[in-house]
């Protein structure tokens, strides 16, 4: 399967309705969907999932609902979070305020693993530094993360998406970028695993390599895989993701 076939396969999956939805604020995007684990395979752990889409309003959590449901069938309790995005009240600081609120309230007092994809991977890495063990974050799994905002900006990924993210706070201020760029922040005080396809056409794997080279993190490169393979239920890369999630969740129990 080519990277573009992966994308078409994932985005072509029918949305799956959650078992429950909870609001964490008044904005329409301040919601979390919950997917309960399969009773035949319970107890794999709790996940808080942050979707990607280069932080833009055009991309919401619906495209990961089938992935969330598949993870629930594998025994995970899944919280699939929405947050304000660029073009809908997000960017700096709104997007980050929402992610901080999600991490704080999705599983009150319970350990959970952060799973982020693409821009959501950047958010998960940032949130783990901010929250750490105090908010029961047990680990981070970042799939194809935008882990180096500076390099992503230099490459002008997705039509200057980083500039759009930082614009509300002034993208020319290096202090602003430094507060949100995972590669310029300390390592989170919890285990971090990166999964990145070597054929990713949307977020080059060099961004994850930069992060892993300077931080306490494990990088698993997925040979020949693109941007979406690890999130596509039934793919070999999805099985790799499940294995990594189980390992981190087990270490938290």
Q: Per-residue confidence of the chain (253 residues) as pLDDT tens digits?
A: 899 999 999 999 999 999 999 999 999 999 999 999 977 766 789 999 999 999 999 999 999 999 999 999 999 999 999 999 999 999 999 999 999 999 999 999 999 999 999 999 999 999 999 986 667 999 999 999 999 999 999 999 999 999 999 987 665 566 778 899 999 999 999 999 999 999 999 999 999 999 999 999 999 999 999 999 999 999 999 999 999 999 998 877 6
- Coil, strand, or helix at residue 78? strand
Q: What's the pLDDT at 128? A: 96
Q: What's the pLDDT at 172? A: 58
Q: What's the pLDDT at 38? A: 77
Strand ranges inside 51-205, DSSP E:
76-81, 112-117, 137-143, 192-197
Q: What's the pLDDT at 253? A: 60
Q: What's the pLDDT at 195? A: 98
Q: Is this prediction's pTM over 0.85? A: yes
Is-contact 85 55, C-beta < 8 A?
A: yes
CATH superfamily to which 3-252 belongs: Alpha/Beta hydrolase fold, catalytic domain (3.40.50.1820)
**Own/partner pairs, 7-11, CB within 8 angstroms, 24+ separation:** 7/226, 7/227, 7/228, 9/228, 9/232, 10/63, 10/66, 10/67, 10/228, 10/231, 10/232, 11/63, 11/228
Distance CA 43, CA 39 (A): 9
Domain boundaries, the chain: 3-252
Q: What's the pLDDT at 167? A: 84
Is-contact 193 140, C-beta < 8 A?
A: yes
Of the candidates 253, 243, 215, 231, the residue with the CA atom closest to the CA atom of residue 112: 253
Q: What's the pLDDT at 46? A: 96
């Amino acid at each position: 399967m080519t990277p573009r076939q992966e994308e078409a396969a994932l985005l072509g999956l029918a949305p799956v309705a959650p078992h429950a939805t909870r609001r964490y604020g008044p904005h329409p995007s301040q919601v979390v969907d919950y997917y309960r684990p399969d009773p035949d395979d319970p107890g794999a752990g709790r996940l808080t999932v942050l979707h990607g889409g280069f932080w833009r309003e055009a991309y919401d959590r619906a495209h990961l609902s089938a992935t969330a449901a598949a993870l629930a069938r594998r025994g995970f309790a899944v919280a699939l979070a929405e947050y304000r995005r660029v073009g809908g009240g997000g960017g700096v600081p709104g997007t980050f305020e929402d992610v901080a609120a999600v991490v704080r309230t999705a599983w009150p007092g319970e350990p959970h693993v952060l799973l982020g994809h693409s821009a959501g991977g950047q958010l998960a890495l940032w949130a783990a530094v901010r929250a750490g063990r105090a908010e029961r974050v047990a680990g981070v799994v970042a799939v194809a993360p935008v882990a180096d905002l500076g390099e992503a900006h230099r490459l002008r990924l997705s039509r200057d998406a980083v500039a759009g993210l930082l614009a509300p706070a002034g993208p020319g201020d290096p202090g602003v970028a430094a507060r949100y760029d995972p590669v310029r922040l300390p390592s989170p005080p919890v285990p971090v695993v990166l999964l990145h396809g070597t054929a990713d056409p949307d977020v080059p794997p060099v961004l994850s390599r930069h992060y892993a080279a300077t931080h306490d993190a494990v990088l698993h490169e997925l040979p020949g895989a693109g941007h979406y393979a690890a999130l596509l239920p039934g793919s070999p890369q999805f099985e790799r993701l499940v294995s990594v999630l189980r390992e981190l969740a087990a270490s938290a129990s």
